[in-house]
Structure 1
Amino acid sequence: MSETIKILTIQDISCYGQCSITVALPVVSAFGIETAILPSAVLSTHTSGFTDFTVRDLTEDLPAIKNHWEKEGIYFDAIYTGFIASMEQLDYIKDIIDSRLKPDGLVFVDPAMADNGEFYNGFDQEFADKMCELCKLGDYILPNTTEACYLLHKEWKEEFSKDEMLEMAEELSRFTKRYVILKGDTHKENEMGMIVLDKAESSCEFVYNERIDYLSHGTGDVFASAFVGSTMVGKSPTSAAKVAGEFTKKAIEKTIGDENHKYGVKFEQVIPELYELLDSY
Protein backbone atom coordinates (compact mmCIF):
# COMPACT_ATOMS: atom_id res chain seq x y z
CA MET A 1 0.00 0.00 0.00
CA SER A 2 1.42 3.39 -0.98
CA GLU A 3 2.06 5.95 1.73
CA THR A 4 -0.72 8.48 2.26
CA ILE A 5 -0.09 11.97 0.92
CA LYS A 6 -0.10 14.51 3.76
CA ILE A 7 -0.85 18.18 3.19
CA LEU A 8 -0.85 21.07 5.63
CA THR A 9 -3.16 23.98 4.85
CA ILE A 10 -2.59 27.28 6.64
CA GLN A 11 -5.51 29.71 6.58
CA ASP A 12 -8.31 31.02 8.76
CA ILE A 13 -11.37 29.29 10.14
CA SER A 14 -14.55 31.24 9.46
CA CYS A 15 -17.11 29.71 11.78
CA TYR A 16 -19.87 30.70 9.36
CA GLY A 17 -19.34 31.18 5.64
CA GLN A 18 -17.92 28.66 3.19
CA CYS A 19 -14.32 29.71 2.71
CA SER A 20 -10.74 29.06 3.80
CA ILE A 21 -10.29 25.95 5.98
CA THR A 22 -13.97 24.98 5.93
CA VAL A 23 -13.55 24.62 2.15
CA ALA A 24 -9.95 23.40 1.96
CA LEU A 25 -10.29 20.60 4.50
CA PRO A 26 -13.23 18.75 2.87
CA VAL A 27 -12.19 19.41 -0.74
CA VAL A 28 -8.54 18.38 -0.43
CA SER A 29 -9.51 15.40 1.76
CA ALA A 30 -11.93 14.24 -0.94
CA PHE A 31 -8.92 13.40 -3.14
CA GLY A 32 -7.86 10.78 -0.58
CA ILE A 33 -5.27 13.15 0.88
CA GLU A 34 -4.65 13.41 4.61
CA THR A 35 -5.20 17.10 5.30
CA ALA A 36 -3.84 18.79 8.41
CA ILE A 37 -4.78 22.34 9.35
CA LEU A 38 -3.04 25.28 10.94
CA PRO A 39 -5.56 28.07 11.60
CA SER A 40 -4.22 31.60 11.16
CA ALA A 41 -7.27 33.07 12.90
CA VAL A 42 -10.79 32.21 13.99
CA LEU A 43 -13.54 34.50 12.70
CA SER A 44 -17.23 34.46 13.56
CA THR A 45 -17.99 34.86 9.83
CA HIS A 46 -15.93 35.59 6.77
CA THR A 47 -15.18 39.24 6.11
CA SER A 48 -17.28 39.90 3.00
CA GLY A 49 -20.96 40.66 3.34
CA PHE A 50 -20.96 40.62 7.14
CA THR A 51 -20.44 43.40 9.68
CA ASP A 52 -19.18 43.41 13.26
CA PHE A 53 -17.55 39.98 12.86
CA THR A 54 -15.20 38.80 15.58
CA VAL A 55 -11.57 37.87 14.94
CA ARG A 56 -9.23 35.84 17.12
CA ASP A 57 -5.70 36.23 15.79
CA LEU A 58 -3.69 33.02 16.39
CA THR A 59 -0.26 34.40 15.52
CA GLU A 60 1.17 33.59 18.95
CA ASP A 61 0.14 29.93 18.64
CA LEU A 62 2.03 29.19 15.44
CA PRO A 63 5.56 28.74 16.88
CA ALA A 64 4.38 26.39 19.64
CA ILE A 65 2.47 24.24 17.16
CA LYS A 66 5.50 24.05 14.89
CA ASN A 67 7.74 23.12 17.84
CA HIS A 68 5.39 20.30 18.84
CA TRP A 69 5.39 18.95 15.28
CA GLU A 70 9.18 19.01 15.35
CA LYS A 71 9.19 16.92 18.52
CA GLU A 72 6.75 14.45 16.96
CA GLY A 73 8.67 14.24 13.67
CA ILE A 74 5.67 15.37 11.61
CA TYR A 75 6.42 16.33 7.99
CA PHE A 76 4.23 17.20 5.02
CA ASP A 77 4.31 16.43 1.31
CA ALA A 78 2.86 19.85 0.55
CA ILE A 79 1.96 23.08 2.30
CA TYR A 80 -0.94 25.14 0.97
CA THR A 81 -1.42 28.67 2.29
CA GLY A 82 -4.51 30.85 2.02
CA PHE A 83 -5.84 33.69 4.18
CA ILE A 84 -3.03 34.87 6.48
CA ALA A 85 -4.04 37.07 9.42
CA SER A 86 -0.97 39.26 9.91
CA MET A 87 2.39 40.24 8.49
CA GLU A 88 4.10 38.59 11.45
CA GLN A 89 2.49 35.30 10.48
CA LEU A 90 4.18 35.42 7.09
CA ASP A 91 7.57 35.08 8.79
CA TYR A 92 6.35 32.20 10.97
CA ILE A 93 4.94 30.44 7.91
CA LYS A 94 8.24 30.69 6.08
CA ASP A 95 9.84 29.02 9.10
CA ILE A 96 7.20 26.26 9.09
CA ILE A 97 7.83 25.61 5.39
CA ASP A 98 11.56 25.39 6.02
CA SER A 99 11.11 23.09 9.02
CA ARG A 100 8.12 20.82 8.25
CA LEU A 101 8.10 20.37 4.46
CA LYS A 102 9.68 17.21 3.10
CA PRO A 103 12.78 17.79 0.92
CA ASP A 104 10.81 17.05 -2.25
CA GLY A 105 7.62 18.70 -0.98
CA LEU A 106 5.58 21.34 -2.82
CA VAL A 107 4.35 24.75 -1.72
CA PHE A 108 1.11 26.27 -3.01
CA VAL A 109 0.52 29.94 -2.21
CA ASP A 110 -2.92 31.44 -2.71
CA PRO A 111 -2.26 35.11 -1.83
CA ALA A 112 -5.81 35.53 -0.53
CA MET A 113 -5.98 39.24 0.27
CA ALA A 114 -8.07 41.04 -2.36
CA ASP A 115 -10.74 40.76 -5.05
CA ASN A 116 -12.78 42.98 -7.36
CA GLY A 117 -10.21 45.77 -7.20
CA GLU A 118 -10.06 46.07 -3.42
CA PHE A 119 -8.14 44.65 -0.48
CA TYR A 120 -10.04 42.50 1.97
CA ASN A 121 -10.71 44.17 5.30
CA GLY A 122 -7.45 44.66 7.22
CA PHE A 123 -5.00 44.32 4.30
CA ASP A 124 -2.97 46.98 2.51
CA GLN A 125 -0.10 47.46 0.07
CA GLU A 126 2.49 46.87 2.78
CA PHE A 127 0.97 43.44 3.39
CA ALA A 128 0.97 42.72 -0.35
CA ASP A 129 4.66 43.58 -0.56
CA LYS A 130 5.35 41.18 2.31
CA MET A 131 3.22 38.52 0.60
CA CYS A 132 5.64 38.66 -2.34
CA GLU A 133 8.27 37.08 -0.08
CA LEU A 134 6.01 34.14 0.73
CA CYS A 135 5.11 33.73 -2.94
CA LYS A 136 8.80 33.29 -3.76
CA LEU A 137 8.75 30.08 -1.69
CA GLY A 138 5.87 28.73 -3.74
CA ASP A 139 6.19 26.13 -6.45
CA TYR A 140 2.73 27.37 -7.44
CA ILE A 141 1.12 30.76 -6.87
CA LEU A 142 -2.60 31.29 -7.56
CA PRO A 143 -3.52 35.00 -7.58
CA ASN A 144 -6.61 36.57 -9.08
CA THR A 145 -6.15 39.72 -11.16
CA THR A 146 -6.69 42.06 -8.18
CA GLU A 147 -4.05 40.28 -6.11
CA ALA A 148 -1.73 40.22 -9.10
CA CYS A 149 -2.06 43.96 -9.52
CA TYR A 150 -1.22 44.60 -5.86
CA LEU A 151 1.76 42.24 -6.03
CA LEU A 152 3.00 44.05 -9.13
CA HIS A 153 1.99 47.60 -8.12
CA LYS A 154 -0.30 47.87 -11.13
CA GLU A 155 -3.66 49.57 -11.45
CA TRP A 156 -6.56 47.11 -11.50
CA LYS A 157 -9.41 47.28 -14.00
CA GLU A 158 -12.42 45.11 -14.66
CA GLU A 159 -11.24 43.85 -18.05
CA PHE A 160 -7.74 42.90 -19.19
CA SER A 161 -6.81 41.99 -22.76
CA LYS A 162 -5.18 38.67 -23.56
CA ASP A 163 -1.84 40.41 -24.05
CA GLU A 164 -2.18 42.22 -20.72
CA MET A 165 -2.94 38.95 -18.94
CA LEU A 166 0.12 37.35 -20.51
CA GLU A 167 2.28 40.28 -19.50
CA MET A 168 1.02 40.08 -15.91
CA ALA A 169 1.64 36.34 -15.72
CA GLU A 170 5.17 36.79 -17.01
CA GLU A 171 5.87 39.54 -14.46
CA LEU A 172 4.45 37.36 -11.68
CA SER A 173 6.86 34.57 -12.60
CA ARG A 174 9.58 36.33 -10.65
CA PHE A 175 7.54 35.64 -7.50
CA THR A 176 7.37 31.86 -7.90
CA LYS A 177 9.77 28.95 -8.13
CA ARG A 178 7.97 27.61 -11.17
CA TYR A 179 4.22 27.99 -11.84
CA VAL A 180 1.84 30.94 -12.02
CA ILE A 181 -1.89 30.23 -12.14
CA LEU A 182 -3.41 33.65 -12.88
CA LYS A 183 -7.18 33.63 -12.49
CA GLY A 184 -9.73 36.04 -13.91
CA ASP A 185 -9.24 36.20 -17.67
CA THR A 186 -12.51 37.53 -19.13
CA HIS A 187 -11.55 38.56 -22.65
CA LYS A 188 -13.47 35.66 -24.27
CA GLU A 189 -17.22 36.12 -24.33
CA ASN A 190 -19.18 33.68 -22.13
CA GLU A 191 -16.01 32.06 -20.83
CA MET A 192 -13.91 32.52 -17.72
CA GLY A 193 -10.24 31.73 -18.07
CA MET A 194 -6.91 31.54 -16.38
CA ILE A 195 -3.29 31.41 -17.45
CA VAL A 196 -1.04 28.50 -16.52
CA LEU A 197 2.56 29.64 -16.85
CA ASP A 198 5.55 27.34 -16.39
CA LYS A 199 8.66 29.47 -16.24
CA ALA A 200 10.99 26.46 -16.26
CA GLU A 201 9.64 25.40 -19.65
CA SER A 202 8.96 28.95 -20.87
CA SER A 203 5.41 27.87 -21.66
CA CYS A 204 2.07 29.56 -21.14
CA GLU A 205 -1.42 28.18 -21.72
CA PHE A 206 -4.94 29.58 -21.38
CA VAL A 207 -7.59 27.37 -19.76
CA TYR A 208 -11.30 28.21 -20.05
CA ASN A 209 -14.57 27.20 -18.45
CA GLU A 210 -18.11 28.37 -19.14
CA ARG A 211 -18.63 31.77 -17.55
CA ILE A 212 -21.53 32.07 -15.11
CA ASP A 213 -22.64 35.56 -14.12
CA TYR A 214 -23.22 34.87 -10.46
CA LEU A 215 -21.36 36.54 -7.61
CA SER A 216 -20.63 34.50 -4.51
CA HIS A 217 -17.96 34.30 -1.85
CA GLY A 218 -15.41 31.52 -1.43
CA THR A 219 -15.07 30.47 -5.06
CA GLY A 220 -11.34 31.25 -5.02
CA ASP A 221 -10.89 28.84 -2.12
CA VAL A 222 -12.93 26.18 -3.90
CA PHE A 223 -10.76 26.55 -7.00
CA ALA A 224 -7.44 26.60 -5.12
CA SER A 225 -8.34 23.55 -3.01
CA ALA A 226 -9.43 21.54 -6.04
CA PHE A 227 -6.28 22.59 -7.88
CA VAL A 228 -4.04 21.52 -4.99
CA GLY A 229 -5.81 18.17 -4.66
CA SER A 230 -5.68 17.48 -8.40
CA THR A 231 -1.98 18.33 -8.58
CA MET A 232 -1.09 16.15 -5.61
CA VAL A 233 -2.77 13.09 -7.15
CA GLY A 234 -0.71 13.48 -10.31
CA LYS A 235 -2.46 15.89 -12.65
CA SER A 236 -0.42 18.34 -14.69
CA PRO A 237 -0.94 22.02 -13.83
CA THR A 238 -3.07 22.52 -16.95
CA SER A 239 -5.24 19.49 -16.20
CA ALA A 240 -5.50 20.49 -12.54
CA ALA A 241 -6.66 23.97 -13.60
CA LYS A 242 -9.33 22.40 -15.83
CA VAL A 243 -10.55 20.12 -13.02
CA ALA A 244 -10.59 22.99 -10.51
CA GLY A 245 -12.32 25.37 -12.90
CA GLU A 246 -15.04 22.87 -13.77
CA PHE A 247 -15.50 21.87 -10.12
CA THR A 248 -15.95 25.53 -9.17
CA LYS A 249 -18.39 26.12 -12.03
CA LYS A 250 -20.49 23.14 -11.00
CA ALA A 251 -20.53 24.36 -7.39
CA ILE A 252 -21.80 27.76 -8.54
CA GLU A 253 -24.49 26.08 -10.64
CA LYS A 254 -25.69 24.15 -7.58
CA THR A 255 -26.04 27.44 -5.69
CA ILE A 256 -27.92 29.52 -8.26
CA GLY A 257 -31.52 30.06 -7.27
CA ASP A 258 -30.98 29.91 -3.52
CA GLU A 259 -31.11 33.59 -2.57
CA ASN A 260 -30.37 32.76 1.06
CA HIS A 261 -27.03 31.20 0.15
CA LYS A 262 -24.80 34.20 -0.59
CA TYR A 263 -22.07 33.24 1.89
CA GLY A 264 -20.44 30.58 -0.31
CA VAL A 265 -21.19 27.94 -2.92
CA LYS A 266 -22.59 24.45 -2.47
CA PHE A 267 -19.33 22.66 -3.24
CA GLU A 268 -20.31 19.73 -1.01
CA GLN A 269 -22.89 18.63 -3.58
CA VAL A 270 -20.23 18.42 -6.29
CA ILE A 271 -17.65 16.38 -4.35
CA PRO A 272 -19.13 13.09 -5.66
CA GLU A 273 -18.24 14.26 -9.18
CA LEU A 274 -14.56 14.91 -8.45
CA TYR A 275 -13.27 11.54 -9.65
CA GLU A 276 -15.29 11.83 -12.84
CA LEU A 277 -13.66 15.21 -13.44
CA LEU A 278 -10.22 13.74 -12.78
CA ASP A 279 -10.91 11.06 -15.39
CA SER A 280 -12.15 13.66 -17.89
CA TYR A 281 -9.03 15.81 -17.75
Structure 2
Amino acid sequence: MKDTKILTIQDISCFGQCSITVALPMISAFGIETAILPSAILSTHTSGFTDFTVRDLTEDLPSIRRHWEKEGIDFDAIYTGFIASAEQLGYIKDIIDSRLRSDGLVFVDPAMADNGEFYSVFDQEFADRMGELCKLGDFILPNTTEACFLLHKPWKPHFSKEEMLEMAHELADFTKRYVILKGYESKNHEMGMIILDKIESTVEIVYNDKVDYMSHGTGDVFASAFVGSVMVGKSPSQAAKIAGEFTKKAIERTMGDETHTYGVKFEQVIPELYDLLKL
Protein backbone atom coordinates (compact mmCIF):
# COMPACT_ATOMS: atom_id res chain seq x y z
CA MET A 1 0.00 0.00 0.00
CA LYS A 2 1.38 3.40 -1.05
CA ASP A 3 1.51 6.07 1.62
CA THR A 4 0.40 9.58 0.80
CA LYS A 5 3.22 12.13 0.71
CA ILE A 6 2.79 15.90 0.80
CA LEU A 7 5.42 18.57 0.25
CA THR A 8 4.87 21.93 1.91
CA ILE A 9 6.89 24.92 0.70
CA GLN A 10 6.99 27.89 3.06
CA ASP A 11 9.24 29.54 5.62
CA ILE A 12 10.48 28.21 8.94
CA SER A 13 9.92 30.73 11.71
CA CYS A 14 11.97 29.10 14.44
CA PHE A 15 9.70 30.62 17.09
CA GLY A 16 6.09 31.70 16.63
CA GLN A 17 3.38 29.28 15.60
CA CYS A 18 3.11 29.71 11.85
CA SER A 19 4.20 28.38 8.45
CA ILE A 20 6.12 25.09 8.54
CA THR A 21 6.00 24.82 12.33
CA VAL A 22 2.21 24.64 11.89
CA ALA A 23 1.99 22.71 8.62
CA LEU A 24 4.34 19.87 9.55
CA PRO A 25 2.65 18.79 12.82
CA MET A 26 -0.84 19.56 11.57
CA ILE A 27 -0.72 17.51 8.36
CA SER A 28 1.27 14.75 10.05
CA ALA A 29 -1.58 14.48 12.59
CA PHE A 30 -3.83 13.35 9.73
CA GLY A 31 -1.49 10.38 9.24
CA ILE A 32 0.09 11.89 6.15
CA GLU A 33 3.84 11.89 5.52
CA THR A 34 4.87 15.53 5.24
CA ALA A 35 8.09 16.73 3.62
CA ILE A 36 9.27 20.33 3.86
CA LEU A 37 11.05 22.79 1.61
CA PRO A 38 11.89 25.98 3.54
CA SER A 39 11.69 29.21 1.54
CA ALA A 40 13.55 31.06 4.32
CA ILE A 41 14.55 30.66 7.94
CA LEU A 42 13.59 33.38 10.41
CA SER A 43 14.44 33.55 14.09
CA THR A 44 10.80 34.54 14.73
CA HIS A 45 7.92 35.55 12.51
CA THR A 46 7.62 39.21 11.61
CA SER A 47 4.52 40.19 13.59
CA GLY A 48 5.18 41.70 16.99
CA PHE A 49 8.90 40.93 17.04
CA THR A 50 11.80 43.26 16.25
CA ASP A 51 15.36 42.63 15.07
CA PHE A 52 14.48 39.14 13.83
CA THR A 53 16.99 37.35 11.61
CA VAL A 54 16.18 36.17 8.08
CA ARG A 55 18.06 33.80 5.82
CA ASP A 56 16.66 33.62 2.28
CA LEU A 57 17.02 30.11 0.80
CA THR A 58 16.23 30.98 -2.82
CA GLU A 59 19.59 29.72 -4.10
CA ASP A 60 19.05 26.31 -2.50
CA LEU A 61 15.78 25.46 -4.28
CA PRO A 62 17.19 24.35 -7.68
CA SER A 63 19.79 22.03 -6.14
CA ILE A 64 17.18 20.45 -3.85
CA ARG A 65 14.94 19.82 -6.87
CA ARG A 66 17.82 18.23 -8.79
CA HIS A 67 18.66 15.95 -5.88
CA TRP A 68 15.03 14.85 -5.58
CA GLU A 69 14.93 14.14 -9.31
CA LYS A 70 18.05 11.99 -8.98
CA GLU A 71 16.52 10.09 -6.05
CA GLY A 72 13.10 9.71 -7.71
CA ILE A 73 11.33 11.54 -4.88
CA ASP A 74 7.87 12.79 -5.79
CA PHE A 75 4.66 13.83 -4.05
CA ASP A 76 0.89 13.33 -4.07
CA ALA A 77 0.33 16.99 -3.22
CA ILE A 78 2.28 20.23 -2.97
CA TYR A 79 1.10 22.94 -0.59
CA THR A 80 2.68 26.39 -0.76
CA GLY A 81 2.53 29.15 1.84
CA PHE A 82 4.85 32.09 2.57
CA ILE A 83 7.30 32.48 -0.32
CA ALA A 84 10.38 34.58 0.39
CA SER A 85 10.94 36.19 -3.03
CA ALA A 86 9.48 36.57 -6.51
CA GLU A 87 12.43 34.60 -7.87
CA GLN A 88 11.36 31.61 -5.80
CA LEU A 89 8.01 31.47 -7.57
CA GLY A 90 9.69 30.34 -10.79
CA TYR A 91 11.67 27.65 -8.97
CA ILE A 92 8.48 26.43 -7.28
CA LYS A 93 6.78 26.08 -10.65
CA ASP A 94 9.71 23.88 -11.72
CA ILE A 95 9.28 21.74 -8.61
CA ILE A 96 5.56 21.34 -9.28
CA ASP A 97 6.22 20.37 -12.90
CA SER A 98 8.97 17.96 -11.93
CA ARG A 99 8.06 16.42 -8.56
CA LEU A 100 4.24 16.31 -8.46
CA ARG A 101 2.75 12.97 -9.44
CA SER A 102 0.52 13.00 -12.51
CA ASP A 103 -2.65 12.75 -10.41
CA GLY A 104 -1.33 15.04 -7.67
CA LEU A 105 -2.96 18.14 -6.21
CA VAL A 106 -1.60 21.66 -5.70
CA PHE A 107 -2.78 23.89 -2.84
CA VAL A 108 -1.72 27.54 -2.97
CA ASP A 109 -2.14 29.76 0.06
CA PRO A 110 -1.04 33.16 -1.33
CA ALA A 111 0.28 34.24 2.05
CA MET A 112 1.33 37.81 1.36
CA ALA A 113 -1.14 40.24 2.96
CA ASP A 114 -3.82 40.83 5.60
CA ASN A 115 -6.00 43.61 6.93
CA GLY A 116 -5.66 45.61 3.74
CA GLU A 117 -1.87 45.68 3.65
CA PHE A 118 0.97 43.67 2.17
CA TYR A 119 3.39 42.03 4.55
CA SER A 120 6.43 44.31 4.70
CA VAL A 121 8.48 42.34 2.15
CA PHE A 122 5.82 42.24 -0.61
CA ASP A 123 4.23 44.61 -3.13
CA GLN A 124 1.83 44.58 -6.08
CA GLU A 125 4.49 43.25 -8.44
CA PHE A 126 4.91 40.24 -6.17
CA ALA A 127 1.12 39.78 -6.04
CA ASP A 128 1.00 39.65 -9.82
CA ARG A 129 3.70 36.99 -9.84
CA MET A 130 1.85 35.10 -7.11
CA GLY A 131 -1.19 35.14 -9.35
CA GLU A 132 0.74 33.08 -11.89
CA LEU A 133 1.55 30.49 -9.22
CA CYS A 134 -2.10 30.40 -8.16
CA LYS A 135 -3.05 29.36 -11.69
CA LEU A 136 -1.20 26.08 -11.09
CA GLY A 137 -3.31 25.40 -8.01
CA ASP A 138 -6.19 22.96 -7.82
CA PHE A 139 -7.12 24.93 -4.68
CA ILE A 140 -6.35 28.54 -3.82
CA LEU A 141 -7.03 29.88 -0.30
CA PRO A 142 -6.82 33.69 -0.24
CA ASN A 143 -8.19 36.00 2.42
CA THR A 144 -10.04 39.10 1.25
CA THR A 145 -6.90 41.27 1.27
CA GLU A 146 -4.96 38.81 -0.88
CA ALA A 147 -7.94 38.42 -3.18
CA CYS A 148 -8.13 42.18 -3.68
CA PHE A 149 -4.43 42.42 -4.52
CA LEU A 150 -4.71 39.50 -6.97
CA LEU A 151 -7.67 41.22 -8.63
CA HIS A 152 -6.35 44.81 -8.36
CA LYS A 153 -9.42 45.77 -6.34
CA PRO A 154 -9.65 48.19 -3.40
CA TRP A 155 -9.94 46.45 -0.02
CA LYS A 156 -12.34 47.32 2.80
CA PRO A 157 -12.90 45.74 6.21
CA HIS A 158 -16.32 44.29 5.34
CA PHE A 159 -17.75 42.96 2.11
CA SER A 160 -21.37 42.07 1.45
CA LYS A 161 -22.37 38.54 0.48
CA GLU A 162 -22.89 39.69 -3.09
CA GLU A 163 -19.46 41.32 -3.22
CA MET A 164 -17.80 38.19 -1.83
CA LEU A 165 -19.53 35.99 -4.37
CA GLU A 166 -18.50 38.33 -7.19
CA MET A 167 -14.91 38.25 -5.97
CA ALA A 168 -14.94 34.44 -5.79
CA HIS A 169 -16.14 34.22 -9.40
CA GLU A 170 -13.41 36.63 -10.52
CA LEU A 171 -10.82 34.52 -8.68
CA ALA A 172 -11.84 31.52 -10.78
CA ASP A 173 -9.37 32.80 -13.37
CA PHE A 174 -6.59 32.16 -10.82
CA THR A 175 -7.23 28.47 -10.14
CA LYS A 176 -7.52 25.19 -12.00
CA ARG A 177 -10.64 24.30 -10.02
CA TYR A 178 -11.43 25.50 -6.48
CA VAL A 179 -11.49 28.93 -4.83
CA ILE A 180 -11.67 28.94 -1.04
CA LEU A 181 -12.22 32.61 -0.21
CA LYS A 182 -11.93 33.39 3.51
CA GLY A 183 -13.19 36.34 5.48
CA TYR A 184 -16.94 36.80 4.90
CA GLU A 185 -18.77 37.93 8.03
CA SER A 186 -22.52 37.30 7.90
CA LYS A 187 -25.24 39.48 9.42
CA ASN A 188 -25.46 36.85 12.17
CA HIS A 189 -21.77 37.48 12.99
CA GLU A 190 -20.71 34.11 11.65
CA MET A 191 -17.50 33.74 9.66
CA GLY A 192 -18.09 32.38 6.18
CA MET A 193 -15.89 30.82 3.55
CA ILE A 194 -16.90 30.85 -0.11
CA ILE A 195 -16.19 27.53 -1.85
CA LEU A 196 -16.37 27.87 -5.64
CA ASP A 197 -15.93 24.91 -7.99
CA LYS A 198 -15.32 26.32 -11.47
CA ILE A 199 -15.61 22.92 -13.17
CA GLU A 200 -18.99 22.01 -11.65
CA SER A 201 -20.10 25.68 -11.62
CA THR A 202 -21.17 25.51 -7.99
CA VAL A 203 -20.76 27.94 -5.09
CA GLU A 204 -21.30 27.18 -1.41
CA ILE A 205 -20.81 29.17 1.80
CA VAL A 206 -19.62 27.34 4.91
CA TYR A 207 -20.05 29.08 8.25
CA ASN A 208 -18.35 28.91 11.65
CA ASP A 209 -19.09 30.94 14.77
CA LYS A 210 -16.98 34.09 14.93
CA VAL A 211 -14.48 34.52 17.75
CA ASP A 212 -13.52 38.14 18.48
CA TYR A 213 -9.79 37.60 18.73
CA MET A 214 -7.01 38.45 16.29
CA SER A 215 -3.78 36.47 16.16
CA HIS A 216 -0.88 35.75 13.88
CA GLY A 217 -0.81 32.32 12.24
CA THR A 218 -4.51 31.48 12.09
CA GLY A 219 -4.40 31.43 8.29
CA ASP A 220 -1.66 28.80 8.41
CA VAL A 221 -3.66 26.73 10.89
CA PHE A 222 -6.74 26.91 8.66
CA ALA A 223 -4.85 26.10 5.45
CA SER A 224 -2.99 23.15 6.98
CA ALA A 225 -6.18 21.67 8.46
CA PHE A 226 -7.90 22.16 5.11
CA VAL A 227 -5.12 20.43 3.17
CA GLY A 228 -5.05 17.51 5.59
CA SER A 229 -8.82 17.11 5.44
CA VAL A 230 -8.92 17.07 1.64
CA MET A 231 -6.08 14.56 1.49
CA VAL A 232 -7.95 12.10 3.74
CA GLY A 233 -10.98 12.25 1.47
CA LYS A 234 -13.15 15.12 2.65
CA SER A 235 -14.95 17.32 0.13
CA PRO A 236 -13.81 20.95 -0.10
CA SER A 237 -16.87 22.16 1.83
CA GLN A 238 -16.36 19.51 4.54
CA ALA A 239 -12.66 20.39 4.70
CA ALA A 240 -13.47 24.10 5.06
CA LYS A 241 -15.90 23.36 7.89
CA ILE A 242 -13.36 21.14 9.70
CA ALA A 243 -10.55 23.67 9.22
CA GLY A 244 -12.76 26.53 10.41
CA GLU A 245 -13.83 24.63 13.53
CA PHE A 246 -10.26 23.59 14.29
CA THR A 247 -9.03 27.18 13.95
CA LYS A 248 -11.86 28.47 16.15
CA LYS A 249 -11.01 25.94 18.86
CA ALA A 250 -7.32 26.89 18.68
CA ILE A 251 -8.22 30.55 19.11
CA GLU A 252 -10.48 29.75 22.06
CA ARG A 253 -7.66 27.81 23.75
CA THR A 254 -5.43 30.89 23.41
CA MET A 255 -7.83 33.62 24.55
CA GLY A 256 -7.16 34.95 28.03
CA ASP A 257 -3.45 34.13 28.02
CA GLU A 258 -1.85 37.56 27.81
CA THR A 259 1.63 36.02 27.54
CA HIS A 260 0.71 34.16 24.35
CA THR A 261 0.35 36.90 21.75
CA TYR A 262 2.40 35.43 18.89
CA GLY A 263 0.15 32.60 17.66
CA VAL A 264 -2.62 30.21 18.68
CA LYS A 265 -2.34 27.04 20.75
CA PHE A 266 -3.23 24.70 17.90
CA GLU A 267 -1.20 21.86 19.40
CA GLN A 268 -3.74 21.51 22.21
CA VAL A 269 -6.55 20.94 19.70
CA ILE A 270 -4.81 18.24 17.63
CA PRO A 271 -6.27 15.46 19.84
CA GLU A 272 -9.74 16.65 18.79
CA LEU A 273 -9.09 16.14 15.07
CA TYR A 274 -10.66 12.66 15.08
CA ASP A 275 -14.00 14.05 16.27
CA LEU A 276 -13.82 17.00 13.88
CA LEU A 277 -13.32 14.63 10.94
CA LYS A 278 -16.83 13.33 11.66
CA LEU A 279 -18.31 16.71 10.65
- Alignment-derived partner of residue 213 in structure 1: 212
- Alignment-derived partner of residue 129 in structure 2: 130
Contact 1:143 1:183 (8 Å CA) reproduced:
yes
Give distance in 1, aligned partners of 2:17 and 2:125: 27
Number of aligned positions between the proteins: 279
**SS class of match (1:246):** helix
- Alignment-derived partner of residue 159 in structure 2: 160
- Alignment-derived partner of residue 101 in structure 2: 102
TM-score (norm: length of structure 2)? 0.99
TM-score (norm: length of structure 1)? 0.98
Give distance in 1, aligned partners of 2:172 and 2:70: 36
Q: What are the superposed Cα offsets for residues 4-54 of structure 1, whole Å, 9 maximum, x if unpaired?
A: 110000000001110000000000000000000000000111111112211
- Alignment-derived partner of residue 244 in structure 1: 243
- 1:190, CA displacement in angstroms? 2.4
- Alignment-derived partner of residue 87 in structure 1: 86
**SS class of match (1:15):** strand
Give distance in 1, aligned partners of 2:89 and 2:150: 15
Contact 1:181 1:196 (8 Å CA) reproduced:
yes
* 1:203 and 2:194 are equivalent in the alignment: no
Give distance in 1, aligned partners of 2:264 and 2:176: 31
- Alignment-derived partner of residue 11 in structure 1: 10
Give distance in 2, aligned partners of 1:54 and 1:114: 20
- Alignment-derived partner of residue 183 in structure 2: 184
Give distance in 1, aligned partners of 2:31 and 2:187: 35
Give distance in 2, aligned partners of 1:188 and 1:35: 39
- Alignment-derived partner of residue 38 in structure 1: 37
- 1:88, CA displacement in angstroms? 0.3
Amino acid at match of 1:133: E
Segments of 5+ residues of structure 1 without an aligned counterpart are: none
Give distance in 2, aligned partners of 1:128 and 1:163: 24
Give distance in 2, aligned partners of 1:54 and 1:257: 29
- Alignment-derived partner of residue 169 in structure 2: 170
Give distance in 2, aligned partners of 1:189 and 1:49: 31
Q: What are the superposed Cα offsets for residues 65-112 of structure 1, whole Å, 9 maximum, x if unpaired?
A: 010000100010000000000000000000000000000000000000
- Alignment-derived partner of residue 224 in structure 1: 223
Contact 1:190 1:212 (8 Å CA) reproduced:
no
Amino acid at match of 1:211: K
1:255-274 matches, cutoff 5 A:
255-274=254-273
Q: What are the superposed Cα offsets for residues 144-203 of structure 1, whole Å, 9 maximum, x if unpaired?
A: 000000000000000000000000000000000000000000133321111000000100
Give distance in 2, aligned partners of 1:133 and 1:268: 33
Segments of 5+ residues of structure 2 without an aligned counterpart are: none
Q: What are the superposed Cα offsets for residues 93-133 of structure 1, whole Å, 9 maximum, x if unpaired?
A: 00000000000000000000000111011100000000000
Contact 1:159 1:187 (8 Å CA) reproduced:
no
Give distance in 1, aligned partners of 2:227 and 2:187: 26
- Alignment-derived partner of residue 118 in structure 2: 119
Amino acid at match of 1:68: H
Amino acid at match of 1:252: I
Give distance in 2, aligned partners of 1:3 and 1:220: 30
Contact 1:142 1:182 (8 Å CA) reproduced:
yes
Amino acid at match of 1:163: E
Give distance in 2, aligned partners of 1:124 and 1:189: 34
Give distance in 2, aligned partners of 1:26 and 1:121: 27
Give distance in 2, aligned partners of 1:202 and 1:48: 38
- Alignment-derived partner of residue 192 in structure 2: 193
Give distance in 2, aligned partners of 1:113 and 1:49: 17
- 1:135, CA displacement in angstroms? 0.1
Give distance in 2, aligned partners of 1:116 and 1:131: 18
